[in-house]
A and B are shown apart, each in its own frame.
Chain A
């Protein structure tokens, strides 16, 4: 079983914390991790805010699933980089690692590491596709989030009554 399929169910819920970005000050972070497609996939949504003003700064939403070829990939969108598709790459057993190229030609590498059952550390590297990472490269974005509440099923919405 892939790390994603094993780790994500135990990460369901709301996580909050802070992150650092290469070009901005500390941001507050909210991440929701939840099942989608009747539990056959997982969604992660992260929103980052200016802690002093509450202004929304950036957001990422992606869903992971196992394709017919057995590979774990994503349907994803970032407010900075647009639509992207990443693929899970092998890593340590407590790490979710994703890598790929966005539609705008950016090489993106994302990792979530379980520091403890209630703490995740994440880092994001990006660079133009084809450029080398460099020996001492630092993540463009990194942070630490803590479990705030377990996932709860949302209330039904939509319904069957015609408008």
Chain B
């Protein structure tokens, strides 16, 4: 049976790089992807740090797993948007794109493109043509052990 690790195993590890949040603030992004339950779950812990003060400016978590049809389900929390469930949408091979509904008719869309040791992330959570959170990170560590 295909697992989420079979599809997105190269994401596992710690990534860091500059980020511009949807509201225009700039910072340093840190994304860590960690596998659980024999590769059936990937947990993402995401943090954005103010580059000047070192303070946390945005944070969140997500669980990625495959549904029975083999499509990625993305359940996430971040402190600004709150909770949302996103479902995979078609994209280029190796690119994880997912979208879902938020309150008040808004849509959330996330796209993660990994190319070797580079990771590009785009997140929108309003109108499709509105501002987006954008980050381009580099791999800081290749593996993370399973954590509780």
Contacts and interface: CB of A to CB of B under 8 A. Distances in A.
B77 A73 contact: yes
Contacts of B13: 158
A25 interface: no
B141 A163 contact: yes
Given A158-B140, A158-B141, A83 B67 contact: yes
The DSSP consensus for interface residues of chain A is strand
Contacts of A63: 61, 77
Given A37-B60, A73-B83, A84-B75, A79 B40 contact: yes
A41 B14 contact: no
B4 to A, nearest CB: 10
B37 A82 contact: no
Interface residues of B, number: 43
B138 to A, nearest CB: 7
A59 B40 CA distance: 11
A32 B68 CA distance: 28
Interface in B37-56: 37-38, 40-41, 43, 45, 47, 56
Given A37-B45, A65-B61, A160-B140, 6 more contacts: A36-B61, A65-B79, A68-B79, A77-B36, A158-B140, A159-B14
25 contacts: A36-B61, A37-B45, A37-B60, A40-B59, A41-B77, A59-B37, A61-B37, A61-B41, A61-B43, A65-B77, A67-B82, A69-B103, A73-B77, A75-B77, A77-B36, A77-B65, A79-B40, A83-B75, A83-B85, A103-B75, A104-B67, A104-B68, A157-B14, A157-B141, A159-B141
**Closest 10 A-B residue pairs measured CB to CB?**
A67-B82, A32-B148, A158-B14, A158-B141, A83-B73, A73-B83, A77-B41, A45-B148, A163-B142, A77-B63
